[in-house]
Amino acid sequence: MSLIRRREMMECKKEYAGTLYIDAGFLDTQVRYDGTPVYNARYPDAWATTYFPVQLNDVINCEELRSYNADGRIRFYQSNGVQGGYVNAGIVNIQVTGEEFINARIMMLNAKEPIPKELTVTHSDGTIDIYKIIDRR
């Protein structure tokens, strides 16, 4: 391989801000942001990612969630750790609209779609965090 080609490949390599893990199970609305999903027979195919930090006016984008219906959600968590709201995941750019929201996670109720590979958070200050998503179910 030529040195030029190797250099191009190295420059194109993404730098991830962190990793989000997918765990099987349902997240009840009373479960804290750092809680563990549990099996629920009503939602046997449910899964949720681990949490990631957000703040007011951040924009969450995950192109791969575009095909999801109302069974996919981005859940927002308040500083006390409990869920404060959610937005359907099929929306391409999801803006964080609550000042009280400091964490978020993806929650799928009956997901049969492919697993997303990454998620981008564009912060209100213009910085961008890209998270790699790994399925560990």
Question: Which of 46, 30, 18, 44 minimizes the C-alpha distance to 84?
Answer: 30
CB 76 within 8 A of CB 85: yes
pTM, full prediction: 0.84
Res 110: pLDDT: 82
Span 114-137, pLDDT tens digits: 788 999 999 999 999 999 999 999
Q: What is the residue whose two structure tokens read 């703040």?
A: 55
Span 31-70, pLDDT tens digits: 999 999 999 999 999 999 999 999 999 999 988 877 666 7
In the chain, pLDDT over 70 holds for what percent of residues? 88
For residue 113, give Cα distances in angstroms to 6, 26, 69, 72, 125: 35, 16, 10, 10, 33
Res 14: pLDDT: 72
The two three-digit tokens of residue 97, written as one number: 């609209």
